[in-house]
Structure 1
Amino acid sequence: MSSTQVGNALSSSTTTLVDLSNSTVTQKKQYYKDGETLHNLLLELKNNQDLELLPHEQAHPKIFQALKARIGRINNETCDPGEENSFFICDLGEVKRLFNNWVKELPRIKPFYAVKCNPDTKVLSLLAELGVNFDCASKVEIDRVLSMNISPDRIVYANPCKVASFIRYAASKNVMKSTFDNVEELHKIKKFHPESQLLLRIATDDSTAQCRLSTKYGCEMENVDVLLKAIKELGLNLAGVSFHVGSGASDFTSLYKAVRDARTVFDKAANEYGLPPLKILDVGGGFQFESFKESTAVLRLALEEFFPVGCGVDIIAEPGRYFVATAFTLASHVIAKRKLSENEAMIYTNDGVYGNMNCILFDHQEPHPRTLYHNLEFHYNDFESTTAVLDSINKTRSEYPYKVSIWGPTCDGLDCIAKEYYMKHDVIVGDWFYFPALGAYTSSAATQFNGFEQTADIVYIDSELD
Structure 2
Amino acid sequence: MYSSAADAIFTEECNDAVHLFYPQKLTEKARLFLDNFPGNCLYAMKSNPHPVVLDHLWDCGIRKFEVASLREIEYITDNFPDAQIYFMHPIKSRQAIRFAYDRGVRNFAFDCLEELIKIEEESGYAEDLNLFLRLGVDQGAAAHPLSGKFGAKLSEAPLLLQRAATHAQKVGVTFHVGSQCMDPQSYRHAIWQVADMLAKASIKIDALDVGGGFPVAYPGMEAGCLLSYFKVIEDALSENGFDDIEIYCEPGRALVAESGSVAVRVEMRKGTSLYLNDGTYGSLFDAGTPAWQYPLDMIDVDDQRLSPVGDEAFRLYGPTCDSLDVMQGPFLLPDDIEEGDWILFHHLGAYGYSMQTRFNGFYSDTAVAILNQ
User: 1:352 — aligned with what?
Assistant: 279
- For residues 295-335 of structure 1, what are the alpha-carbon distances to aligned partners after superposition, in whole Å with 9 as ceiling and x for unaligned? 33322221221245xx3211111100111101001111111
Structure 2 match to 1:146: 77
* 2:227 is equivalent to residue 301 of structure 1: no
Corresponding residue of 2:322: 412
Quote how far apart the aligned CAs of 1:349 are: 1.0
From 155, 159, 169, the equivalent of 1:222 is 155
Q: Which residue does 1:435 correspond to in 2?
A: 345
The corresponding residue for 2:210 is 283
Equivalent residue letter for 1:247: S
Contact 2:17–2:364 (Cα < 8 Å) also in 1: no
* Equivalent residue number for residue 463 of structure 1: 372
8 Å CA contact 2:300–2:342 kept in 1: the answer is yes
**Match in the other structure for 1:34:** none
Inter-partner Cα distance in structure 2 for 1:221 and 1:452: 46
Q: Which has the higher contact order (CA 8 A, sep 6+)?
A: 2
From 319, 326, 332, the equivalent of 2:264 is 332
Q: What 5-or-longer segments of structure 1 have no aligned partner?
A: 1-61, 76-82, 340-344, 386-399
* 1:163-183 deviations in Å (ceiling 9; x for gaps): 011111111011001111111
Cα displacement (A) at 1:418: 4.3
Deviation at 1:245, TM superposition (A): 0.5
Calculate percent identity across the aligned residue pairs.
27
User: Quick check: 2:278–2:362 contact (8 Å CA) kept in 1?
Assistant: no
Contact 2:137/2:177, CA 8 A, preserved across alignment: yes
**Structure 1 contact 242–262 (Cα < 8 Å) conserved:** no
- AA of the residue aligned to 1:211: H
Q: Does the C-alpha gap of structure 1 residues 318 and 74 become closer, same or farther in structure 2, counting only changes over 3 Å?
A: closer
> Within 1, Cα distance between the matches of 2:200 and 2:290?
36
1:203-239 superposed Cα distances (whole Å, 9 cap, x missing partner): 110133232222111111111123134335x534442
Q: Are 2:320 and 2:362, in contact at CA under 8 Å, matched by a contact in 1? A: no
CA distance in 2, matches of 1:363, 1:404: 15
Question: Which one-letter code corresponds to 1:119 in the other structure?
Answer: P
- 2:96 is aligned, of 150, 155, 166, to 166
Counterpart residue number, 1:207: 140
Counterpart residue type for residue 122 of structure 2: F
Residues 366-423 of structure 1 deviation map (CA, whole Å, 9 limit, x = unaligned): 334321124x11332x5423xxxxxxxxxxxxxx4x4432221123333223443443
What is aligned with 1:120? 50
Q: 1:109 aligns with which of 22, 32, 39?
A: 39
How many angstroms apart in 2 are the aligned matches of 1:437 and 1:114? Answer: 16
Counterpart residue number, 1:66: 4
Distance, in Å, in 2 between the alignment partners of 1:110 and 1:229 is 25
Q: Matched residues in 2 for 1:307 and 1:439: separation?
A: 36
Q: What SS does the corresponding residue of 1:444 show, helix, strand or coil?
A: coil
Q: Which amino acid aligns with 2:303?
A: E
Partner AA of 2:191 in structure 1 = V
Measured in 2, the distance between the counterparts of 1:423 and 1:431 equals 11
Change in CA separation of 1:125 and 1:255 when aligned onto 2, cut-off 3 Å: same
CA contact (8 A) 1:243 1:283 kept: yes
Further displaced range: 156-165 or 405-414:
405-414
* Structure-2 residue corresponding to 1:240: 172
DSSP-derived class of the 1:221 partner: coil
**Paired residue secondary structure (2:347):** coil
Tell me how far apart the structure 2 counterparts of residues 127 and 307 of structure 1 sit (CA, whole Å). Answer: 32
* Distance in 2 of aligned mates of 1:189 and 1:403: 51
Cα 1:182–1:361 shift into 2, 3 Å: farther
Listed as ranges, the gaps of 5+ residues in structure 2 are 218-222
Name the CA distance, whole Å, in 1 between partners of 2:107 and 2:67: 10
Counterparts of 2:236 and 2:175 in 1: how far apart (Å)? 14
Counterparts of 2:39 and 2:12, CA distance in 1:
45
More helix by share: 1
CA contact (8 A) 2:268 2:276 kept: yes
1:373-392 paired onto structure 2 within 5 Å: 373-374=300-301, 376-380=302-306, 383-385=308-310
What secondary structure sits across from 2:179 in the alignment?
A: coil
Q: Greater Rg, structure 1 or structure 2?
A: 1
* Higher mean displacement: 406-415 or 83-92: 406-415
Counterpart residue number, 2:185: 253
RMSD of aligned Cα (Å): 2.4
Is residue 288–residue 329 contact of structure 2 (8 Å, CA) maintained in 1?
A: no
Sort the Cα spacing of 1:144 and 1:243 in 2 relative to 1 into closer, same or farther, 3 A: same
Aligned mates of 2:80, 2:318 — CA distance in 1: 39
Q: CA deviation at 1:71?
A: 2.9
Give the Cα separation in 1 of the matches to 2:56 and 2:65.
12
Partners of 1:155 and 1:267 in 2: CA distance: 30
Shift in CA distance, 230/362, structure 1 to aligned 2, threshold 3 Å: farther
Amino acid at match of 1:281: L
C-alpha distance in 2 between matches for 1:74 and 1:177: 42
- Measured in 1, the distance between the counterparts of 2:244 and 2:152 equals 24
Q: Counterparts of 1:177 and 1:329 in 2: how far apart (Å)? A: 33
Write the deviation string for residues 103-159 of structure 1: whole angstroms up to 9, x where unpaired. Answer: 4442x221100001110112112212222210011110111111113325x111011
Tell me, what secondary structure is at the counterpart of 1:207? coil
**Cα 1:186–1:131, aligned 2, differ >3 Å: closer, same or farther?**
same
Provide the C-alpha distance between the structure 1 equivalents of 2:57 and 2:175, rounded to a whole number of angstroms. Answer: 23
CA shift, 1:362, in A, is: 5.7
What TM-score, normalized to structure 2?
0.89
TM-score in terms of structure 1 length: 0.72
Aligned to 1:187: 117
How far apart are the structure 2 equivalents of 1:351 and 1:327?
Answer: 20
